[in-house]
Amino acid sequence: MKSTYQKIFEPFTFTSGVEIKNRIMLAPMTNYSAKDNDEVSESELAYYSERSGGVGAVITAVAYIEAGGKGFPGQFSAADDSFIPSLKKLADTIQSKGSKAILQIFHAGRMSPPDLLPDQQSVSASAVAVEQKGAQVPREMTESEIQATIKNFGEATRRAIEAGYDGVEIHGANTYLLQQFFSPHSNRRNDQWGGSLEKRMAFPLAVIAEVKKTVAKFAKHPFIVGYRLSPEEGSNPGITLEDTLSFVDTLANQQLDYLHISVMHFWNGSFRDKDKSESRILKIHEKVGSRVPVIGVGSLHTPDEVVDALNTGVPFIVLGRELLMEPKWVQKVEAGEEADIRTTLSKQAQQELVIPDPLWDKLINIPGWLPVVE
Query: Which tens digits make up the pLDDT trace of 171-216?
Result: 999 999 999 999 999 999 999 999 999 999 999 999 999 999 999 9
What value does the mean pLDDT of the chain take? 97
pLDDT of residue 15: 95
261's enclosing H/E stretch is strand 258-261
Nearest to 228 by CA among 202, 253, 247: 247
Average pLDDT value for residue range 298-322: 97
How far apart, in whole angstroms, are the C-alpha atoms of residue 349 and residue 3? 32
Whether the per-residue pLDDT at 312 is higher than 90: the answer is yes
The predicted structure's pLDDT at residue 169: 98
pLDDT value at position 369? 85
Mean pLDDT, rounded, for 4-20: 97
Active-site residue identified among 47, 176, 227, 258: 176
Question: pLDDT at position 100, please?
Answer: 98
pTM to 2 decimal places = 0.97
Residue 32: active-site member? no
Q: What is the pLDDT of residues 51-68, one digit of tens each?
A: 999 999 999 999 999 999
Is the distance from CB of 171 to CB of 104 less than 8 angstroms? yes
User: Above 90 in pLDDT, residue 273?
Assistant: no
- Residue 219: phi and psi, rounded to 5, are -75, 130
Structural domains of the chain ordered from first start: 3-342 (3.20.20.70)
- Check if the beta carbon of residue 64 is closer than 8 Å to that of residue 107: yes
Annotate 51-89 with DSSP letters as a single string: H-SSSSEEEPPPEESSGGG--STT--B-SSGGGHHHHHH
Residue 367 has pLDDT above 90, yes or no: no
